[in-house]
Amino acid sequence: MAEKKTPVEKIEKEYIIPLRRKWAKVPRYKRANKAVKAIKEFLVRHMKIRDRDLNKIKLDKYLNEFVWFRGIRKPPIKIKVKVVKEGETIKAELAEIPENLKFKKARIEKREKKATEVLSKKKAKAEEPEKAEEEKEEEKKEAEEKKAAVVEVGKEQAKKAAKTTKHQTKVSKQPKRQRRQALAK
């Protein structure tokens, strides 16, 4: 008696969500929070989630940034959202990404792409056979030569410092007489 898995239906819709009516009712310092909550409530109502659970709705990072862009006191009046419903979870993202967020999104994607390339290179190096013994010996010799050169330079600097201190006149740093101090009361 094998159970058949039903394919998860995927529904995509676009909405223009009015936010002003909701956030105008709350104090200024709570407006952006209320706007986010209003988006979730709108999507719960229109995407037909039976138990009205707001935790089943996931907002995209860029949608959240767009709501908060002008600060907590001045969220957008309305917002165009693309919504995807997979089973019981709903994912909402901006339908039209503004210029400033496009650049930010491109920069983040570029950074992630570069990180994956670096990771793949590291894995490839780990899988490569180790370097030949000759190359290792050459590297050791170079390292020893560098150490010897550093030691020689250090000795020369010490000699120069000793010479300069030897030829300096000795001046006592103590004042010749005591400084005046305030009288104790």
pLDDT band of residue 38 (cuts 50, 70, 90) is very high
Q: Which residues pair with 82 in a beta bridge?
A: 14, 93
Contacts 24+ apart (CB under 8 A), 20-24: 20/77, 20/78, 23/75
Tell whether the model's pLDDT for residue 1 goes beyond 80: no
- Put simply, whether the predicted model's pTM sits higher than 0.75 gets the answer no
Q: How does the average pLDDT of the chain come out, rounded?
A: 85
Over residues 63-82, the pLDDT tens digits come to 999 999 999 999 999 999 99
Over residues 45-57, the pLDDT tens digits come to 998 887 888 888 9
Domain boundaries, the chain: 10-96
Provide the CA 132 distance to its chain's centre, in angstroms: 40
76 Cβ neighbours under 8 A, 6+ residues apart? 19, 35, 66, 67, 70
List the alpha helices (DSSP H) in the chain.
20-23, 31-46, 61-68, 99-127, 133-167
- The rounded distance, in Å, linking the Cα atoms of 41 and 71 is 21
- The rounded distance, in Å, linking the Cα atoms of 13 and 81 is 8
- The rounded distance, in Å, linking the Cα atoms of 33 and 67 is 9
Over residues 113-172, the pLDDT tens digits come to 999 998 888 887 776 655 566 777 888 889 999 899 989 999 999 988 888 887 776 666
Look at domain 10-96 and name its CATH class.
Answer: alpha beta
Q: Which residues pair with 90 in a beta bridge?
A: 57, 85
- The rounded distance, in Å, linking the Cα atoms of 11 and 15 is 13
pLDDT score of 50? 79
Q: Indicate the DSSP class of residue 180.
A: P
pLDDT band of residue 182 (cuts 50, 70, 90) is confident
pLDDT score of 77? 94
- The rounded distance, in Å, linking the Cα atoms of 174 and 3 is 95
